Amino acid sequence: MADAEVGWIAAIIIGGIAGWAAEQFMHSNMGLLMNIVLGIVGAAIASAILSLFGVVLGGWIGYLVCGFIGACLLIWIVRAVRTRS
């Protein structure tokens, strides 16, 4: 999310909120640090995937939406991998 216009502190706060929202939506049990990581990494992944389709979300709300979508995707992938092993 190079064009997001969101600083590091805001990315941590918004990533934490997005990770927490994804945790609640997906009914998983993660800690605060994992919520922040899921939100930030999820935002980067979702932003990359959406940019392939020509969708670019910027700013605080765009970062929050991308973080939520990406964190849900990451939780789903972890669950799929865990059930196979």
What integer is the mean pLDDT of 42-54? 90
Please give the Cα distance from 75 to 42 (Å, whole number). Answer: 10
What is the H or E stretch that residue 3 is in? none
Arithmetic mean of pLDDT over the chain: 87
Amino acid making up residue 3: D
What is the H or E stretch that residue 71 is in? helix 59-84
Residues 60-75 pLDDT 10s = 898 899 999 999 999 9
What integer is the mean pLDDT of 30-46? 90
pLDDT at 21: 95
pLDDT at residue 4 tops 50: no
